[in-house]
Structure formats: C-alpha cells, structure tokens
Structure 1
Amino acid sequence: MKSNKLDKVYLVVFLILEFIIFFVFKYFDISDIKIFIITQLVFVILFSILYFVITLFIEKLASRKFCIKYNKIMREYQKSDNAKIFYDKLKNMKEKPIGDDIQNTYFLSLATAAYKNGENEEALKYLDMIKTDDVHILKVIEDERQTILGKGKNRA
C-alpha cells in the first residue's frame, strides 16, 4: 500500500518535471532535438536513482522504529523467559513490520510465543502469514509447524 502511494507520487512529480523541461526548451527556443533527448535521458536516470535512494531511506527509517521496539521486547524476554508477557507485547506492538524479512521474523516470533503459551491454532496462523521462497526459512517453518502439530496431538 505504501509503495503504491510512493509510485503515484513518483509518477506525478516525474510528469511535472517533464513538463518543466519541455517548457524550458520551448521558452528558450532550443530546437536541437539531440540536446532535448540527451537532457531527457539524463533526467530520467537521475530522477530514478534519486527515487530509489529516497524510497530506500524512507523504508529503512520506518522499519528502524519497529526494530528498536522489537529488539527491546526480545531482550526483555531473554532476561525474564516469560512467554506470556513476550506474546502480549509482540501482539500489542503499535509499530508494524515493514519489509518481507522483518515481517517474516515478526510472524515467526509470534508463532513461537503463541506456541509457548499453548495457543497452537494461533501459532499455526502466524506461520501461515510468513511469505518466503527461501528454502532454509521454509524448512524452519515446516519444523516449527511439525513441533506445534506434534505438541497439539500430545495435549489432546
């Protein structure tokens, strides 16, 4: 959703700047098409690089807030080993994970915390939210799923 908004902003700003370049060429009566084409190409390349850098910076800045809070919760859990508090704090985080890797880590932590609190259905739901093609991560997810299902069968 956020990326979609950035793409729309990119398109609008890009078109505005294109019209400015076009207007400058008309206003100063520059009729050499080679200069116009070279200017357009340089502009497109520079604008695309700038867009990429700004998008990357915004995403890193947004994910930084989540990571700081998430790491604090993880450190508290390592000290207290209280799965209930760990699960509650993870579920009630105001910051949302941004980026696939961070989301996957968050959902895996939620699945683990839910499992340690005996909420196996919730744990499986969080595992299903993880989206990846990485073979190693898929193996970890499958191992976690088998642990949860095995634990669920033993409890019944």
Structure 2
Amino acid sequence: MNNRRFNSRDRWGASLLLAAVLAMLDQFVKAGVAATLPLGSSVTLTPWFNLVHVLNPGAAFSFLADAGGWQRHALSGIGIVVSLALAVLLWRGVRSRLEAAAYVGLIGGALGNVIDRLRIGAVVDYLDLYWRDMHWPAFNLADVWVVGAAGLLVLASFKPGVAPEPRGQGGTS
C-alpha cells in the first residue's frame, strides 16, 4: 500500500495540460457545430434533445446577455482570474485527487468559454435538453465541465481529506 499523501503540486503540469485539453476539446466541438449548423438552426435527435447553434453573449441562463457589450470583457476577466487562482491552488496543494480533478474541470470549462468570448464576443451553445415545450437553456461542453467539476467539489467536501504536506519544513520522507 502506498502511504504517500496526494500532492497536486507533483502533478501540476499534467493538471494544466489536461485542463488545456478539455478547453481544446470544447473548442473543437464548437467549431464543428459552427461549421455544420447555421446559426439559429436546430436538429432534433430525440424526443428530449436537440442540437442547436446559438450564441450567448451573457453568462449562465443568458444572464447579462443584453448588458450592452461590457459583459464580454468582464466575464472573460472573471474566467481568467478564477482559472489562475485555481492553478495557484493546485500548485500550493489541494487535499485530494477529487478536488484536483474538480479544479482541472473548472479551469478547462472556464477557459473554453473565455476563448469564445474573446474570439467572437459570445459563447457558442449547442446542447438543448427539453421536455415537451419546456427547454433548459442551451449549453456546451465547457458548461458540462464546469457543472461536473462543481459536483466533484461537493463530493470532495464530504470526503475526509488530509491537509497537503507542508513545504520547506525540512522533514524527510
């Protein structure tokens, strides 16, 4: 049995690489949607799921969508600052693999949507879930990463963890 504690700093580069892969996968799917579905179109796949091509200049649930343009830069800035803060926390050490995975998902999802905001001024959404005439707001893979990561953080909060190993204390392993 391996008694060594988890240390996210040991895997910091790999974690950031994985976050970048998640953001790029999101961008790849969005490019495919933009290339194959005209803006505003919809393709029914099941009685509860459509592929759509819509642009959301706001945040979740189109919050701030009609704010006049300033939200593009504000939301991009928030996404970048949060991603940097999470990268720093991973560097400093988090208490579990679950928490580290959540941070990676949050960074990947946030940056996937930041890229859209900086590149085209809005986020490309394409997943449309519905029941009868009730539609959930369209979303994308980056949103799935963020929501999934939030769920992992909730799970991690219930799991007893150990504090990261102190650095610079002169201890031996």
Compare relative contact order (CA 8 Å, sep 6+) and give the higher one, 1 or 2. Answer: 2
Q: Same fold (TM over 0.5)?
A: no
Could you say which structure has the larger radius of gyration? 1
TM-score by length of 1: 0.29
* Structure with greater proportional helix content: 1
User: If the length of structure 2 is used for normalisation, what is the TM-score?
Assistant: 0.26
Write 1 or 2 for the structure with the bigger share of strand.
2
